[in-house]
Amino acid sequence: MDAKRYTLVRDLFLAAEELSGADQRAFVVRQAAGDQELVAEVMSLLGEHDAESAKAEGENAIPLQASLGLPPAMPSAVSQPGETERGGETTSPVHAEGKNPAPPKQKKKASASEITQRGAERTHASPRDYDTRRSHDHSSPSQLLFAKKSRRTRRINSGWLWVAAVLPTALVGWWTYRSVEDSVRMALRNELTGVADSVNLVADQFMDNKSQLVESWARQTRIRDCVVELVDLAETRPPIETLKAAPQSDRIHDELQILSGVESVSFIVWNHSFTTIASWLESREDIGQPVAPTGAGDVARALRGETMFFGPERIDDSIEGYVPKTGRPAMACIVPIRDDNDEVIAAMLVSGIQLYEQFNEKLRDAALGNGLDAYAVNPEGMMISESGHAATLYHRGNLEMAPDKIADGLRVTDPGVRLSADTASKIQRRALPLTESVASATQGESDVRLKPYNNYAGESVVGGWRWSSKWHFAVIVEKGVREAFAPARIVWSSFLLLGSLLTVTAFVAASRLARRSLLDHAAVHPLSRYEIVSELGSGGMGVVYKAKHRQLGRDTALKLLRGDRHNKEDRLRFDREAKLAASLSSPHSVMIYDYGRSEEGEAYCVMEYLHGLTLQEVVARSGSQPIGRVLYVLRQVCEALIEAHGMDLVHRDIKPQNIMLSLDASVGDWAVVFDYGLAKPLSPDNSTYQTSEVVWAGTPMYMAPERFRSPTVMDPRSDIYSIGCVAYYLLAGRPPFAECDPESLFALIISEQPIGIGIHRGEEVPESIRGLVYACMSKNADDRYSTVKELGKAIDLLRSEYPWGVEEAVAWWKQHGEDR
């Protein structure tokens, strides 16, 4: 693949990647204009490439120096091998795991344990993260091997148990609940209707009785004669003092005290001119004064022959000469006074006979007897009685008005929400709408409403109301929704509890049956010999677990094909990795113990459990490495690849994350190469599973340039290039190229040289070492070492100048690797 072809494939892939899966192929076919090979290459790329992993690899290298508390590294620009710096772009710092965190407010040196995650258990699971949105089984480790069969058995068992036990109970419960709810609603409607009618009847009878009593007083001869005399006197327009001095006011007062039996009885008489002609006040200061504007309408109706009730209403002292007896609302009866010809000649108001107190008592008794909130409202929506429930709400902090201020002080409006102590004091009642019950009642309607609405404190209630057209007020009875529907709620809660218990019982029974089936299945499962200990990591295809052989007690690494990778291509790739890795015997290559598939199709591979740190973690803990150590480790990597290349096998994914380093007491540092998931034979034959090639297979920042140009061509010298990149990484503490954008990273690898090692390292690197690294990393494969064996010999010639032995390794591991 030449550069032009590569550019065409890349541009077409990037354009198609933005489309949904259903539209990608049609778009690629249309753009390829009949080039089927181009279609195959791009579709293979779309099907296999994980862009997040490639981007994470580019970001992963940038934060190493920041995490170690070192000065910021040089940007990912390029320079010639002669240790000279060139400008370039910088990239944003990220954590070593490759995930983008929020930028830190200040730099902080990370500890070794913070930099390396679970270093003691790191194994040949690739550190690359796959998309967490994909399907991935996080079942309990003890159930992992047989999870699929267990879950299926549990679903089947719990399904029929649920149908047999829970479903009928749920249906019966629902029917019972609906029946109880209907009964409760019917009983509640009857209750509200009966109480509303009863309270309304009590109020009407009270008003009728009191009005008839006062009317009988007005018909008394002595009172009527006195009023006639005063009316006649007023018609002569005498001086006001004459009216005030008239003895008739005292006679009327004396007679009313006798009739009512109450010394505090009071009265006022008005003639047709709406002028006060008699009064109970000793000073008579109100005689000669016109009727107060608020009572003029009631007086006018009384002068037309009707009996009216004034209030309950709070009386202020705005009337000249009148001082209210109490701060509580006043209630009075206004009756017409008739002469011998049955003509209305005046209107008389009688109060002070405890009308308001008795009216309040009637409503309070009705409320207490039924456990309801009962109160009366006038046409303006003002509460004109003293509600016991409102007083209770005030003491709880849920109402803004004190009990002695509620009557004729509380406008019954809906605050919108249930009030708290903070909001109750801020309520402006005049700006709020009336509650549903009061709004309906003041329109002259009588109704019962079972649909919950808010009362004057924002509580959810149901209620009934009756409007009295004769006396122009309404009585309201209300009950909290919680109390109103308590029986239905108890039934519903009981059946929910019963259903939950039955569900749990069905699940437990199903689990026991599934466990019994699981144990029977485990006896013949190929992995029943292994006990899962913990999850170690996730790679592009598999999930790796730490496991222990039940009989031998040996730690192993158990790799399972990921749940979202059970397609034919991935199964063949998984098979190929196990088969190729098992053919290797070098002590510096990971050892394969077992491989196969379960009856359910779970592909597994049992491998050597590697203790230690990956080379990426080594650099993360201590930065750039001593030259002698780099040569020592690279020589062991070469040993692993010499065997692989000798068997015509190319690794294709050599990188720091795929090389494990541990401490051996006899030789010091010990390196093991793992993850042969992308390995390919130079000359494939029928005995090797073949999978399709993709353009971006491998880790981009460690891939040789020819891998981008001709991805299907297998060349062992591509692994030599990757070894050179690893050497650069160990010496510099940074990868040779680091770009977040894969497209920019590919361009750098194909056409540019990395920044000099010494610039990152902070010190000069000998020419012999630079020459070795840059020879491996040559853009042209012909300019590299021809074989890994030749590279190994070149390393051997340099090792004598840069010794690294057991003592140095032990010292490093003691300082940086004790928590591995």
Q: What is the 3-state secondary structure of 250-295?
A: HHHHHHHHHHHCCCCCEEEEECCCCEEEEECCCCCCCCCCECCHHH
Q: How confident is the model at residue 147 (pLDDT cuts 50, 70, 90)?
A: low
Structure-derived torsion over alpha carbons of residues 366, 371, 377, 381, reported in degrees to the nearest 10: -170
Which whole number is the average pLDDT over 1-11?
Answer: 66
Identify whether 223 is part of a domain.
Answer: yes
Based on the fold, state whether residues 300 and 328 are members of the same structural domain.
yes
Pick the more confident residue, 791 or 499: 791
Average pLDDT over residues 214-234: 94
Q: Is the residue at 192 inside a domain?
A: no
- Tokens 């296999």 locate to 48
Structure tokens at 99: 């995930």
**Mean per-residue pLDDT over the chain, rounded:** 77
Asked, for residue 653, whether it belongs to a domain, the answer is yes
Residues 430 and 560 in one domain: no
Rounded distance between C-alpha atoms, residue 109 and residue 280, angstroms? 94
pLDDT at 677 over 80: no
Q: Do residue 319 and residue 396 come from a single domain?
A: no
On whether both 550 and 455 belong to a single domain, the answer is: no
Rounded distance between C-alpha atoms, residue 443 and residue 380, angstroms: 10
User: Both 57 and 103 in a single domain?
Assistant: yes
Q: How many domains does the chain have?
A: 5
Answer whether 760's CB lies under 8 Å from 734's CB: yes
Average pLDDT over residues 241-258: 93
Q: Which of 1-10, 57-66, 490-499 has the lowest mean pLDDT?
A: 57-66
In a domain, 809, yes or no: yes
Main-chain dihedrals φ then ψ at residue 635, nearest 5 degrees? -65, -35
Asked whether residue 483 carries a pLDDT value surpassing 50, the answer given is: yes
95-104, 227-236, 346-355, 476-485: range with lowest mean pLDDT? 95-104
Distance in angstroms (rounded) separating the CA atoms of residues 284 and 320: 10
| Confidence at residue 429, expressed as pLDDT on a 0 to 100 scale | 81
| pLDDT above 80: residue 495 | no
Q: Highest mean pLDDT: which of 98-112, 493-507, 596-610? A: 596-610
pLDDT at 412: 94
pLDDT band (50, 70, 90) for residue 13? confident
Residues ≥6 apart with Cβ < 8 Å to 290: 274, 275, 276
Q: How far apart are CA 57 and CA 701, in angstroms?
A: 7
pLDDT at 74: 38
Q: Which of 352, 362, 283, 287 is nearest to 315 (CA)?
A: 352
- Residue 271 sits in the same domain as residue 331: yes
Are the C-beta atoms of 714 and 678 separated by less than 8 Å? no
Flag whether pLDDT at 162 surpasses 70: no
Q: Residues of the chain with pLDDT > 70: what percent?
A: 69
The predicted pLDDT at position 92 comes to 30
Among 86-90, 236-240, 358-362, 756-760, the minimum mean pLDDT is found in: 86-90
Quick check: 80 pLDDT over 60?
no
Model pLDDT, residue 674: 83
How many CB atoms within 10 Å of residue 764? 11
Determine, yes or no, domain membership for 181: no
**pLDDT tier at 608, thresholds 50, 70, 90:** confident
Q: For residues 86 and 759, is the Cβ–Cβ distance under 8 A?
A: no
Q: What 3-state DSSP class applies to 332?
A: strand
CATH of residue 144's domain is 3.30.200.20
pLDDT value at residue 90: 31
Same domain, 653 and 801: yes
Residue 516: CB atoms within 10 A of its CB come to 12
Do 400 and 423 fall within a single domain?
A: yes
Residue identified by tokens 């879950």 is 151
* Statement to judge: residues 436 and 554 lie in one domain: no
User: How far is the C-alpha of 26 from the C-alpha of 20, rounded, in Å?
Assistant: 11
- pLDDT over threshold 50, residue 724: yes
Measured in residues, the chain has a length of: 820
Q: Any idea what the CATH number is for the domain that residue 773 is in?
A: 1.10.510.10
pLDDT at 3: 54
Q: What is the pLDDT of residue 425?
A: 64
What is the CATH classification number for the domain harbouring 464? 3.30.450
Whole-number Cα distances in Å, 491 to 480, 488, 622: 18, 5, 67
Rounded to whole angstroms, the Cα distance separating 96 from 61 reads 7
Interval 329-355 mean pLDDT: 93
Residue 502: the pLDDT is 61
Going by C-alpha positions, the residue among 800, 642, 766, 608 that lies closest to residue 81 is: 766
Separation CA 552–CA 630 (nearest Å): 36
pLDDT band at 221 (very low <50, low <70, confident <90, very high): very high
Residues 708 and 781 placed together within one structural domain of the fold: yes
Name the more confident of 61 and 786.
786
Residue 494 lies in a domain: no
Which residues lie closer than 8 Å to 139 by C-beta, 6 or more apart?
A: 147
Q: Does 325 count as an annotated binding residue?
A: no
Looking at residue 28, its amino acid is: V
Q: Is the pLDDT of residue 95 over 50?
A: no
Q: Comparing 542 with 210, which gets the higher pLDDT? A: 210
- Kindly report which listed range (408-412, 430-434, 636-640, 658-662) carries the lowest average pLDDT score: 430-434
Contact 628, 574 (CB under 8 A): no
pLDDT band at 653 (very low <50, low <70, confident <90, very high): confident
Q: Is the pLDDT confidence value at 26 over 60? A: yes
Q: In angstroms, what is the C-alpha Rg of the chain? A: 48
Question: 271-326, pLDDT tens digit by residue?
Answer: 999 999 999 998 888 899 999 888 889 999 999 999 999 888 887 654 444 455 66
pLDDT tens, position by position, 448-469: 999 999 999 999 999 999 999 9
Last residue of a domain, one of 434, 453, 484: 484
590 and 626: one domain? no
Beta-carbon contacts of residue 646 (< 8 Å; ≥ 6 apart): none
Per-residue pLDDT at 418: 72
312 close to 356: Cβ distance less than 8 angstroms = yes
Mark whether 600 and 735 lie in a shared domain: no
Q: Which of 620, 427, 474, 599 is nearest to 527 (CA)?
A: 599
Of 211 and 537, the structure prediction assigns the larger pLDDT to 211
Q: Can you give the pTM of this predicted structure?
A: 0.44
In whole angstroms, what is the distance from residue 820 CA to residue 818 CA?
A: 6
Asked, for residue 177, whether it belongs to a domain, the answer is no
Strands 344-351 and 373-377: unpaired
Whether 163 maps to a domain, the answer reads no
Strand-pair category, 460-468 with 473-480:
antiparallel
Q: Given a cut of 70, is residue 810 above it in pLDDT?
A: yes
Which of residues 806 and 576 earns the better pLDDT score?
A: 806
| pLDDT for res 520 | 52
Q: What is the pLDDT of residue 582?
A: 81
Of 13, 29, 48, which closes a domain? 48
pLDDT at 135: 41
What's residue 473's pLDDT?
Answer: 94
Q: What domain range includes position 549?
A: 124-153+503-609
Q: Which of 120-129, 528-537, 809-818 has the lowest mean pLDDT?
A: 120-129
